[in-house]
Amino acid sequence: MLNGLRILEFEALGPAPFAAMHLADLGAEVTVVHRATHDNPSKQPRNLLDRGKRSIVLDLKEAADIAVAKALVQRSDALIEGMRPGVMERLGLGPEVVHALNPALVYGRMTGWGQDGPRALRSGHDLNYAGLSGMLFYGGLPGEIPGVPPTLLGDIGGGALYLTVGILSGVLNARTTGKGCVVDAAIVDGTSHMLSLLLSMGPMFSREARGQSLLDGPHWSRCYVCADGGHVAVQCLEPKFYAEFLEVMGLRDDPGLADQFDPKQWPVQTARLAGLFAARSRDTWTALFEGSDACVAPVLSPAEAQEDPHIAARGIWREGVPAPAPRFDGATRPTGDIALRGAHGAEILETLRQEGLI
């Protein structure tokens, strides 16, 4: 879908290379500038986030390599960098410099705190950004320490995916106007924006008390421990799904579970369900709910997930790694090869020479 789109990525950690990989998965030509190291590139482990990319190693403290980087800028539609604010400017590759070379370039900046503000130059990680934004407040059950799956909420949800959307939006605008832009994708911005869906639930979503909201407190919206130590995830929000859940559990006529939306009853209702789920294994519960609309699923490890019939039928994993997403016209894009650091350096330089850029 993105054939013909050229992305220049400068090596960084986490959400920036993920965003670039996502664009490569969708067909963009992504050239990643890897840092120069003293290690033998052939002996370095390949990074999954470099799949589908071309790699060249440049020392951005050397004038000759900066010239190569600027030549790459001239033939790119967008740039991705995940440095701290000011680093690219000190290297001589800030927005003003590159826009003078390529006015239509979309300059994508990935940070945790953003390009400005009191915390802009401070260190941070996924949980810090999610915590400050208010999103982590809902990441746990009543009385428990907040927590979410690592990297998914901040780095990916509030970071990489917002950068990807921002870059594609900027490219569409540049193709109409001929003018590029700077995309300031801050994880704290993205995770804050993601709260909009939760807050849209109005009075059923508390902004002050954990465990009192529609999705973080009810007995029908949580995970339960099973007899074998495994877990099942239950989230039957709509009354018709909740009714089916009770039916499968054999609790259709239980008066203690009849009222679905009374927060005062949730603790007792939760304890009741916890005792029931603890009596059978995870796989037993999975089989019992198979084919129903009760909105119950097992909590699988990534290794187990690959063996699940639904996951396998859709080909979501390929050779131990997740396949590109989303799909177009019902088909997934082939998974690209993981680039070895510097593997395409000679090829890239030759292209720049042929195009008269170096």
* 158 CB burial (10 A radius; 0-12, 13-18, 19+): buried
- Pairing relationship of beta strands 78-81 and 53-58 according to DSSP bridges: unpaired
DSSP state of 230: -
Helix (H, G, I), strand (E, B) or coil at 84: coil
Rounded distance between C-alpha atoms, residue 313 and residue 27, angstroms: 24
Element (H, E) at 9: strand 6-10
CA atoms within 13 A on the CB side of 326: 4
Catalytic residue among 65, 99, 125, 293: 125
Catalytic residue among 155, 184, 189, 216: 155
Rounded distance between C-alpha atoms, residue 68 and residue 349, angstroms: 8
DSSP state of 180: -
Rounded distance between C-alpha atoms, residue 30 and residue 7, angstroms: 5
Go through the chain and tell me how many residues it has: 358
**CA-wise closest residue to 56 among 46, 71, 69:** 69
Rounded distance between C-alpha atoms, residue 19 and residue 30, angstroms: 11
Q: Answer for the pair 115, 188: CB distance below 8 angstroms, yes or no.
A: no
Range list of H helices, 134-252: 161-177, 187-199, 239-249
Rounded distance between C-alpha atoms, residue 349 and residue 141, angstroms: 54
* 305 CB burial (10 A radius; 0-12, 13-18, 19+): middle
Does the annotation count 155 as an active-site position? yes
Residue 241: CB atoms within 10 A of its CB come to 17
User: What is the full DSSP assignment across 294-328?
Assistant: S-EEE---HHHHHHSHHHHHHT-EETTEEPP-S-B
- The values of phi and psi at residue 215, to 5°, are -115, -10
Active-site positions read: 125, 155
